[in-house]
Amino acid sequence: MLLKNFDVTLRYAKELDEEDFLAHFREEFYLKPGSIYMDGNSLGLLSKRAERTLLESLEDWKEHGIDGWTQGKHPWFFLAEELGEKLAPLVGGSAEEVIVTGSTTVNLHQLVSSFYKPEGKRTKILADELTFPSDIYALQSQLRIHGYDPDAQLIRVKSRDGRFLEEDDIIEAMDETVALIVLPTVLYRSGQILDIKRLTDEAHRRGIVIGFDACHSVGSIPHSFSEWDVDFSFWCNYKHLNGGPGGVGGLFVNRKHFGRMPGLAGWFSSAKEKQFDMEHTLTPALSAGAFQIGTPHVLSAAPLIGSLEIFTEAGIGNIRQKSLKINRYLMDLIDSELADMGFIIGTPREDARRGGHVSLEHIEAARICKSLKENGIIPDFRAPNIIRLAPVALYSSFEEVWEVVQILKKIMAEKQYEKFKNEREVVA
């Protein structure tokens, strides 16, 4: 369904920008002149506030040394908990259920170590064939640690079309042999949102623990993890949350699991009041903080302090509203301007099933991505045939989206892509 009064003119794009209630946040970010950034679903841009809080944290270190744990602008000892409290509204959890720590795959290892308890016939882990490879590597590794053959014990639900997953197929695979389920909230290739509540309800009806990789949704769509009774979730903070390259990750643990001993215990798993007792018996925190392992990555977390200020002001509901509108506009333009040029939109059309990016499929995708970069557009390529485009609610404009489609149209009409090899670069 087209946007109201849609047309393909630049004038219409500018009208949409005039109506944009988040447009003023664009000034918060460092935008490169002569370039249009469409890869915020891989790495979000630097904001001026994130830069400020990183520099403030460096100043804390410079000024206070070891006393930075309890002094300075952003003291370190409770930093992970304070950031968790700011993140909690974005994932629909309480402050105690969210902690900023580790990285995506380290946090997945921690959570599987804590929640995968094979017993009797229940020995298998259920995932899907479209999930990000790092999750599969971690799950295979955890099965090997328990002495199992991943080929036999890791179930990967098949996609019917190579793009999307059907919840019915996932539920059908939830049999009496499954001990744990780990699924994405949003599929990284197609941008499909899974029905998290339905899948959680069905898993619990069968006595199965279920967790979600939210890397491609946190900061882009609202969540209600506590309300949906999700057991756990984990994510990175450098995509839609603009926390910086390699930035510290985050995790959610449902409060019903508080008091559980973490599978991978460490110093920062401790209750805060006991941490410096230096006892050889761990007293785990009665919160998601128990699932930390080591010392917080302070300088990695520091940009997130400033970034989350912006999300608090903008509101995740407003961000989602703009994201849906600007991505719908992108798809409408593609349908109108590129329909006869071999492009296929590989993203769900329904708002409720679509995350924060659009996947554009083409047989020459790798070459087209190189042409886009040559023309000042920063896209994302996923083999073998996907161009991911992510207009980001906080800093992308409708005029930029219009320009991207016009440049794509020119690239195809002039066959600019033919001078490049149809293969990915070292970093896609």
Per-residue pLDDT reduced to its tens digit, 329-339: 999 999 999 98
C-alpha to C-alpha distance for 307 and 242, rounded to whole angstroms:
6
275 band by pLDDT with thresholds 50, 70 and 90 = confident
For position 379, what pLDDT does the model report?
97
Answer whether residue 360 is part of any domain: yes
Domain end marker among 313, 343, 378: 313
The alpha helices in 206-355, defined as continuous H runs, are: 225-228, 298-314, 316-337
C-alpha to C-alpha distance for 312 and 42, rounded to whole angstroms:
22
Please give the mean pLDDT across all residues of the chain.
Answer: 97
Answer whether residue 19 is part of any domain: yes
Do 335 and 266 share a domain, yes or no?
no
pLDDT > 70? residue 291: yes
For position 421, what pLDDT does the model report?
85
C-alpha to C-alpha distance for 350 and 249, rounded to whole angstroms:
29
- Please compute the mean of the pLDDT values over residues 84-91 and round it to a whole number: 98
Let me know: does 35 contact 376? Beta carbons within 8 Å.
yes
Domain end marker among 313, 347, 362: 313
44 band by pLDDT with thresholds 50, 70 and 90 = very high
Domain count, the chain: 2
CATH of the domain at 401: 3.90.1150.10
Residue 58, CA atoms < 13 Å, CB-side half-sphere: 8
Binding-site residues for pyridoxal 5'-phosphate, please? 104-105, 132-135, 213, 216, 238, 267, 295
Do 278 and 389 share a domain, yes or no?
no
3-state secondary structure of 69: helix
Answer whether residue 428 is part of any domain: no
Let me know: does 298 contact 76? Beta carbons within 8 Å.
yes
Let me know: does 40 contact 396? Beta carbons within 8 Å.
yes
Q: Provide the residue type at 232 as one letter.
A: F
C-alpha to C-alpha distance for 216 and 246, rounded to whole angstroms:
15
C-alpha to C-alpha distance for 233 and 226, rounded to whole angstroms:
11
Beta bridge partners of 213: 184, 234
Q: 145: closest CA among 12, 263, 306, 266?
A: 263
Do 228 and 144 share a domain, yes or no?
yes
Q: At what angle do helices 10-18 and 398-413 cross, to 10 degrees?
A: 160
The alpha helices in 211-355, defined as continuous H runs, are: 225-228, 298-314, 316-337
For position 377, what pLDDT does the model report?
98
3 band by pLDDT with thresholds 50, 70 and 90 = confident
Do 134 and 171 share a domain, yes or no?
yes
Answer whether residue 379 is part of any domain: yes
Answer whether residue 17 is part of any domain: yes
Binding-site residues, please? 104-105, 132-135, 213, 216, 238, 267, 295
218: domain range? 51-313
CATH of the domain at 197: 3.40.640.10
Computed from CA positions of residues 274, 275, 281, 282, in that sequence, does the dihedral angle turn out positive or negative? positive
Residue where the block lists tokens 């009806």: 205
For position 1, what pLDDT does the model report?
63
Q: What is the pLDDT of residues 158-195, one digit of tens each?
A: 999 999 999 999 999 999 999 999 999 999 999 999 99
The DSSP symbol for 120 reads: T
pLDDT > 90? residue 62: yes
Residue where the block lists tokens 């630049």: 10
C-alpha to C-alpha distance for 351 and 367, rounded to whole angstroms:
30
Q: What is the pLDDT of residues 190-234, one digit of tens each?
A: 999 999 999 999 999 999 999 999 999 999 999 999 999 999 999
260 band by pLDDT with thresholds 50, 70 and 90 = very high
Let me know: does 192 contact 347? Beta carbons within 8 Å.
yes
pLDDT > 90? residue 10: yes
3-state secondary structure of 299: helix
C-alpha to C-alpha distance for 213 and 217, rounded to whole angstroms:
9
pLDDT > 80? residue 353: yes
Do 85 and 61 share a domain, yes or no?
yes
C-alpha to C-alpha distance for 203 and 181, rounded to whole angstroms:
8
For position 16, what pLDDT does the model report?
97
When mean pLDDT is compared across 27-41, 97-111, 143-157, 411-425, the lowest value belongs to 411-425
Q: At what angle do helices 48-64 and 298-314 cross, to 10 degrees?
A: 140
C-alpha to C-alpha distance for 379 and 372, rounded to whole angstroms:
7
Answer whether residue 411 is part of any domain: yes
Answer whether residue 114 is part of any domain: yes
Domain end marker among 263, 279, 313: 313
Answer whether residue 147 is part of any domain: yes
Q: 298: closest CA among 70, 120, 108, 98?
A: 70
Q: Provide the residue type at 155 as one letter.
A: I
